[in-house]
Amino acid sequence: MKRYVCQVCGYVYDPAQGDPDNGIAAGTPFEKLPDSWECPVCGASKADFAPEA
Amino acid sequence: MEPLQIAPGIYSVGVRDWTIRDFHGYSTDLGTTYNAFLIVDEQVALIDSVKAEFADELLAHIARVIDPRRIDLVVSNHTELDHAGGLARVMHRIGEEKPLYCSKMGAKNLARHFPRKWNYRAVGTGEELRLGRRTLRFLETRMIHWPDSMFTYVVEDGILFSSDGFGQHYAGPETFDDETGERILPHAKKYFANILLPYTGLIEKLLQQVEALRLDIRMICPDHGVLWRKDPGRILEAYRTWCRQEPGRRAVIVYDTMWHSTEKMAAAIHEGIAAEGVSCRPMHLRAFHRSEIVTEIFDARAVVVGSPTLNNGLFPTVADFLCYLKGLKPQNKIGAAFGSYGWSGEAVRLIEEELERMKIPRIQEGLRVPFVPEGETLEACRAFGRAIGRAVVESTAVPA
Ligand SMILES: [Fe+2]
Ligand SMILES: [Fe+2]
Ligand SMILES: [Zn+2]
C-alpha cells in the first residue's frame, strides 16, 4: 500500500498505521479514506496529498 | 510608545522585550517585540496576545485606551506562545466566555496549550466578521509557519495583521518602517532565513494568492518588530526575492577548531576562495551564533564546513550547526568539507554525509590533514579553496 505525503506540512499518511486518532483503522489505504478526512497535522484536504516519491 | 494609535480607532498595544537575547535558539541581539492590536468599533476586538510574562503590561496598555472588560472578542492568528502565552491572563480579565477567533488548527492547538474550554470560533480563508464600521477578513496561512497560522485583514482600513509573516526580531524606539528606513531589512532577512526558510514554496503561493485577491494593502502589521506603513510593497517585494533563494557570488566557511589546525586550514581555504574573486567570510562556530551563520549562508552559494575529529566524531558545535541547517532546508547551495585530525579522522566524512542528506552537492572530495597543516598541506588547502571559488564563479551571476 502506497504512502501519501501532505504537500502543505510534510505529514506522511501510512496506510499500515492509519489515523486512529481520527477514526481511521490501521490498514486503510489512502484511496479508501473518506473525502472529509483531513491532514491531522495541518488540516489540509485529501487533494493536498501526493504519493510518496 | 504603546498604546499608539496606528489608524483611527486602531491601536498598537503590544510590548517590547528589550532584554531577550536568545529566542528559542535564535540570537536576538536587540531584543524583540510581541505586537498586539486593539480595534475599537461597535465591537471591540483584540488581535493577538503576547508572551505570558508580559500579559499584565499588555493589559495596562489596553486599559489606557479602554476598560479591558469591554473587549468583545479576541483573534488569535498563531498559537505559538510568544503570541498566545498571555491569553490565559487576557481571557480571565476580559471574560472567559468571550469568543476567541482562530483557524481550525488554531482551536485544536490552543486546546493543547490551555486546559480551559474557551469559546473557540474556528474561521477559514475568506470568512468575515463585522465589527461595526469595520470588517475583519481571515486568511489561513498553514505552515507559514505553523499549521494554525493565519492573517487577519481589516477591509476598510487596508491593514493586514500578518502574525509572524514579514516580522523582524527587533526592539527599538521606532514603531514604523519610515522611522527605521532600510536598516530594518537585514533584521527581516535574518527572520526569513531562520524561521521561514523551509516554507518558501508555500510563501510564494501565498504571495500569489494575496495578489490574486487584489487586496488594497495600506499597512502590514506583523507580530514582531516594526510595522510596514510607508511602503508595505517593499517587504512584499523582498519576500518575493528571498523565496527564490538565488545565491550570490559568495562562500561561507563554517568551522570549529581544537588546537588551531582546522582553523589554519580554514584560513588557507579562505585565501584560495578569495583569490578567485569570491567574497567569503570564515565563521568560527563559537564566535558567531548559528542564526547569524544561517543568515550569511542564505546569501551564499558555497557552504564549506570544517571540523576536527573529537572521539571519532564531529566536534559538537559542528553537529549542532549541521542539525540546525538541515531543518531549514536551504536550496541552491554547493558544499565541501575539511578538517584536521589526530588518528582516526571521521569528521570530514560525517559532514559530507550530512550535506548529502541536505541534497547539497559536493564540489570536491573533503580535505583531511593529520595534526598540524604546514607547507604542502597548506598549499593543498589553498588549491581546495581555489576549486571552491571557481565552482562558485561558474554557477553564479556576475555581481551587480
Ligand atoms: Fe511563530
Ligand atoms: Fe512569533
Ligand atoms: Zn498537513
pLDDT tens-place string over residues B215-227: 999 999 999 999 9
Provide the annotated active-site residues of B.
24, 78, 80, 82, 145, 164, 191, 224
Q: Is the pLDDT of residue B133 over 90?
A: yes
The yes-or-no verdict on residue B257 having pLDDT over 70 is: yes
| pLDDT beyond 90 at B152 | yes
Alpha carbon dihedral B103, B107, B112, B113, in 10-degree steps, equals: 80
Region B239-250: mean pLDDT is 98
Q: Which of B108, B129, B132, B128 is nearest to B120 (CA)?
A: B108
pLDDT at B400: 62
Q: What ipTM was estimated for this complex?
A: 0.78
Query: Which single residue is written with the C-alpha cell 499584565?
Result: B56
Chain A residues near residue B105 by CB distance under 8 angstroms? 42-43
Residue B397 pLDDT level (bands cut at 50, 70, 90): confident
Query: Which pLDDT does position B113 carry in this prediction?
Result: 97
More confident residue, A10 or B199: B199
Q: What residue type is assigned to position B362 of the chain?
A: R
pLDDT at B399 over 90: no
Every domain of chain B and the residues it spans: 4-244, 248-393
Structure confidence at residue B365 (pLDDT): 98
Cβ B143–A8 below 8 Å, yes or no? Answer: yes
Q: Which residues of A touch B143 (CB under 8 A)?
A: 8-9, 42
For residue A25, give the C-alpha cell: 483503522
* Residue-wise pLDDT tens digits, B269-285: 999 999 999 999 999 99
Bridge pairing between strands B73-75 and B44-47:
parallel
- Interface touch A42/B104, C-beta < 8 Å: no
- Asked if the domains B4-244 and B248-393 are classified in one and the same CATH topology, the answer is no
pLDDT at B146 over 70: yes
CB-based contact B284:B255 (threshold 8 Å): yes
Q: Structurally, what CATH architecture does the domain formed by B4-244 represent?
A: 4-Layer Sandwich (3.60)
The grid cell for B388 is 571552491
- Mean pLDDT of the residues in chain A: 94
pLDDT digits (tens, 9 = 90+) for B308-338: 999 999 999 999 999 999 999 999 999 999 9
Each residue's pLDDT tens digit, B45-98: 999 999 999 999 999 999 999 999 999 999 999 999 999 999 999 999 999 999
Cβ of residue A44 closer than 8 Å to a chain B Cβ: yes
**pLDDT of B303 strictly over 80:** yes
Mean pLDDT in residue range B347-375: 98
* Three-state DSSP state, B322: helix
CATH architecture of B248-393: 3-Layer(aba) Sandwich (3.40)
The C-alpha atoms of residue B347 and residue B262 are separated, in whole angstroms, by: 11
Q: What is the pLDDT of residue B398?
A: 78
| Average pLDDT over all residues of chain B | 97
Q: Are the C-beta atoms of residues B74 and B98 closer than 8 Å to each other?
A: yes
